[in-house]
Amino acid sequence: MARKSLTKTRRTKKQAQEETTPALQGIKVLDMTWVGPGPFCTSLLGDLGAEVIKIHEPHPERRGGLITQVFPNSSDFPGFRNCKTLGLNLKAEEGRKIFYELCKTADVVVEGSRPGVVKRLGIDYSSIKKINPAIVYASLTGYGQDGPYRNLVGHDINYEAVGGLLGITGIAGGKPVIPGIPIADFAGGGLSAATAILAALMARERTGKGQFIDVSITDTIVGLMSIWINPYLAWGVACQRGETWLSGQWPWYNVYETKDKKYISIGAIEAGFYANLCQLLGRDDFIEHQYAEGKKREEVFRYFKQTFLTKTRDEWVKILRQKDTCVAPVYSIEELVADRQLLARGMIQEMPHPVLGSVKQVGSMLKLNPPSQIRNWSTQLGQHTEEILLELGHDAKSIKALRQKEVIG
Residue 284 is a catalytic residue:
no
362 φ, ψ to 5°? -70, 130
What does the pLDDT read at residue 386?
96
Question: Active site residue: 185, 260, 314, 324, which one?
Answer: 185
Residue 142's nearest CA partner among 113, 181, 110 is: 113
Contact 399, 408 (CB under 8 A): yes
What does the pLDDT read at residue 63?
63
As a whole number of Å, the end-to-end CA separation of the chain is: 61
CA atoms within 13 A on the CB side of 51: 11
The β-bridge partners of 301 are none
What does the pLDDT read at residue 370?
83
Q: What is the mean pLDDT of each run of 10 residues along the chain (409 residues)?
A: 45 60 95 93 95 91 61 56 94 97 98 97 98 98 97 97 96 94 96 98 97 98 96 94 92 98 98 98 98 97 98 98 98 97 94 85 90 82 94 96 95
Alpha helices in 269-353 (DSSP H): 271-280, 294-308, 313-320, 333-336, 340-344
Query: Which structural domains are found in the chain, ordered by start?
Result: 17-224+365-404 (3.40.50.10540)
What does the pLDDT read at residue 16?
56
What does the pLDDT read at residue 64?
58
